[in-house]
Amino acid sequence: MVKVGKSKITELKKLVKDTPLKHLSPRKFAKIADAVNEEEFQKGTYIIRQGEIGKTFYIVKEGEVNVTQIKNGSALREEVLIRTLKKGSFFGEKALQRDGDKRTANIIALSEKVVCLTLDKKYFVHLIGDAAYTLWKVGRPSFSERLDIPVNQSHRFSFSSVTPFSTNSSPMEVRKSRRKTFEPLSIKDLHSIKVLGQGSFGRVELVRIYQDKKTTYALKSLRKAHIVENDEQEHVYSEKNILLKCHCPFIVELYRTFKNSKYVYMLMEACLGGELWTRLREEKQFSDSRSKFYTACVVEALDYIHQRNIAHRDIKPENLLLDSNGYVKLVDFGYAKTIELGERTWTFCGTPQYIAPEVVWNQGHDTAADLWALGILTFELLTGVPPFNSNSESKIYIKASKGIGAVEFPNYVKSPAKDIIRRLCRDKPSHRLGNMKNGINDIREHKWFTGFDWTGLQTRQLRAEYVPEVKDSHDTQHFDDFEFTRDDSAQSEHSGWDKDF
């Protein structure tokens, strides 16, 4: 332990007269002073959110914060002001006493700048301990008791082990029933409005059903001959079968498929906010809070597919589309594969800057490869470039083999963001955040996401920082212009591989 200066100890003692730190021995107090960090919060920032797992103890050093609570049974998530805390006040201690305890109230920065001294749970528990906490607590109520919040009546949420979307505005059963309405549909019933993208594989068009002029969809057309020439049949079927199983608001919806002699088609949900990659290139980089929001959307998508033993294997900004509300949806499941628990696969696939080491070195991989890619994605969102980058693929792999520890982070990337990236990009898959005992919840509970409204995200009540302008269902301003030409040169293909489309 580094020796702590007397000035820091003296400053801390002035703030802890009415906190559980006041009873510590001089030796333990010195250790606490060394472990204390200082964090700043802007006005309106949620320092703590009701329902999240407790990880940190706070003492207000400068400014004021509001304590609020969400009313039980409130569909609008109405918050009630409980009290205001000033300099020297503390919060967050109760949820640290037992593993899994959740915050019973929100703490919101009231002043233009709020400075808090923070102490991680491991130091709070090991240095303060139950005895000291009990001694301090005698004769005074706990934090939640001071707020008159009975534990058995507090508003709490939990992440389902199966799916966290039970309260979503478009639940799984609604999505399933909606797909049934497309069963009688023929490819001839679709009217093309504009080409959204095209390449050697085919193209993606914005279409509508002739009888419905208001609702639009994305129609992905794939050349059958090109698929056979490149031996991509398995990947195309994998995308079709996996997407038809997915009912997740953070994954693009596939409604049904078609085929003819030249093409196989996928009728999908239209996300008119454009590619996240395009947005990133225009803005160079995203703020910490905005990067956090986009990363959280991908976390929800990965949680959904990983619980079903599905690895996406091509996480990158190009495969993330923005909807009209500014939420991100994961697309392009061409490399996705079901990998049963305890098994591995050896296919080499993905985008060089995002490929995990175990894939590069042919060691066998599973869903943990997506967690490495999530760390790379987070870095790119924050900085505008991936951490391992070069014009040469081999040089990219050499850089990646040196590990994320060899990467120099820009000064503006905050410490919690650096930490989550490093934990996601551990060389050993079993050591990666999200691939251990608590699974994806370890990512949700990481310090970078302190105060983040996961319930608001999952129920889509959390407003995105950036909401793309989308005038109506025909607005394609966020996509490049492509000349619309009817492609009669595509070869017919009759091998029958597409019999199940």
Catalytic residues, by residue number, are: 314
The tokens for 27 are 């030796």
Q: In what order do the strands lie in the sheet with 328-330?
A: 274-275, 320-322, 328-330
The tokens for 379 are 């870095």
3-state secondary structure of 244: helix
Strands 202-209 and 190-199: antiparallel
Kindly state the DSSP code that residue 448 receives in the 8-state scheme: G
Cα separation, 172 vs 384, in Å, equals 35
User: Which residue in 264, 263, 241 sits closest to 254, CA to CA?
Assistant: 241
Whether the Cβ atoms of residue 440 and residue 299 lie closer than 8 Å to each other? yes
Whether the Cβ atoms of residue 465 and residue 196 lie closer than 8 Å to each other? no
Other beta carbons within 10 angstroms of residue 273's beta carbon come to 25
Cα separation, 371 vs 348, in Å, equals 17
3-state secondary structure of 329: strand
The tokens for 411 are 């000064």
* Partners of 85 in the β-ladder: 65
Kindly state the DSSP code that residue 122 receives in the 8-state scheme: H
Strands 337-338 and 113-120: unpaired
Q: In what order do the strands lie in the sheet with 65-70?
A: 46-48, 106-109, 65-70, 79-85
